[in-house]
């Protein structure tokens, strides 16, 4: 079974704090993704990575950065958390094959910024 | 750019009845993939079904089928014989042929009544 894990299910941080969200996958997938999910907006892509040390901006990268030092791990960083970054964050991974290959999602991290 | 529209924010269905969740899309790509995911209250995204734009047959997976109408750019999910466990958020998504990036719709919350 493909497994994608995220470091926390729930996280509460204060405005201005630096926040790290960790994601690990155990299927040797090349691609990894970070989304945020907000009611009515579905999932929106923040960043993705198709290889170690490679990253690409998604639709809403502002206020976020990412790190991929190892193939299995993809970190999302909020340099200075703000209240409008309160959201559910979902990590996903997929092999680098054709688009028929689905993405496999982690359980999500619900982040609250006070 | 790709766009997915789910026009039903919430729907009720009686247990054991069939239900159709609507999804329309917009893309200039000739080749693309369409996905449906289920997200129960636990938060994890569960892959349900996939349809390739060149697939001649509509996709089916158990109680799930995808009513794909390419000319209308619609990819509706049909759930037959609804069960209480089908109560969840459902997301339609699409990817271009060139990669695994997904664009999501806003989601539909399905509630199954006993």
**Cβ <8 Å between A31 and B100:** yes
Each residue's pLDDT expressed in tens, for chain B with a length of 114 residues: 789 999 999 999 999 999 999 999 999 888 899 999 999 998 889 999 999 999 889 999 999 999 999 999 999 999 999 999 999 999 999 988 655 788 999 999 999 999
- Quickly state the pLDDT bin for A2 (edges 50, 70, 90): low
Residue B103 burial (C-beta neighbours within 10 Å; 0-12, 13-18, 19+):
buried
Q: Is the Cβ–Cβ distance between B45 and B37 less than 8 Å?
A: yes
Question: Cα–Cα distance between A112 and A83 in angstroms, integer?
Answer: 8
Q: How many CA atoms lie within 13 A of A52 on its CB side?
A: 6
**Minimal Cα–Cα distance from B2 to chain A, Å?**
12
Strand partners, A90: A35
Question: Cα–Cα distance between A60 and A30 in angstroms, integer?
Answer: 22
**Minimal Cα–Cα distance from A72 to chain B, Å?**
17
pLDDT in tens, A15-51: 999 999 999 999 999 999 999 999 888 899 999 999 9
Q: What is the pLDDT of residue A103?
A: 87
Q: Is the Cβ–Cβ distance between B76 and B23 less than 8 Å?
A: yes
pLDDT in tens, A97-113: 666 678 899 999 999 99
Q: What is the mean pLDDT of residues A59-80?
A: 96
Taking CB atoms and an 8 Å cutoff, what residues of chain A touch B103? 45
């Amino acid at each position: 079974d493909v497994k994608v894990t995220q470091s926390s299910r729930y996280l509460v941080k204060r405005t201005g704090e630096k926040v790290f969200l960790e994601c690990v996958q155990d299927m040797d997938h090349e691609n990894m993704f970070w989304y945020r999910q907000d009611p009515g907006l579905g999932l929106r892509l923040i960043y993705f990575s198709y290889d170690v040390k490679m990253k690409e901006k998604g639709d809403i990268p502002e206020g976020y950065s990412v790190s991929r030092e190892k193939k299995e791990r993809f970190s999302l960083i909020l340099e200075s958390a703000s209240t409008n970054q309160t959201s559910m964050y979902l990590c996903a991974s997929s092999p680098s094959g054709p688009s028929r290959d689905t993405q496999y999602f982690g359980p999500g991290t619900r982040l609250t910024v006070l | 750019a790709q766009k997915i529209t789910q026009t039903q924010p919430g729907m009720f269905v009686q247990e054991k009845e069939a239900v159709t969740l609507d999804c329309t899309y917009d893309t200039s790509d000739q080749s693309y993939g369409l996905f449906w995911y289920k997200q129960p209250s636990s938060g994890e995204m569960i892959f349900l079904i996939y349809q390739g734009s060149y697939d001649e047959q509509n996709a089916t997976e158990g109680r799930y089928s995808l009513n794909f109408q390419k000319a209308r750019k619609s990819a509706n999910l049909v759930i037959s014989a609804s069960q209480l466990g089908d109560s969840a958020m459902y997301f339609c998504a699409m990817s271009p042929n060139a990669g695994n990036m997904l664009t999501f719709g806003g989601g539909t919350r399905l509630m199954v009544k006993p």
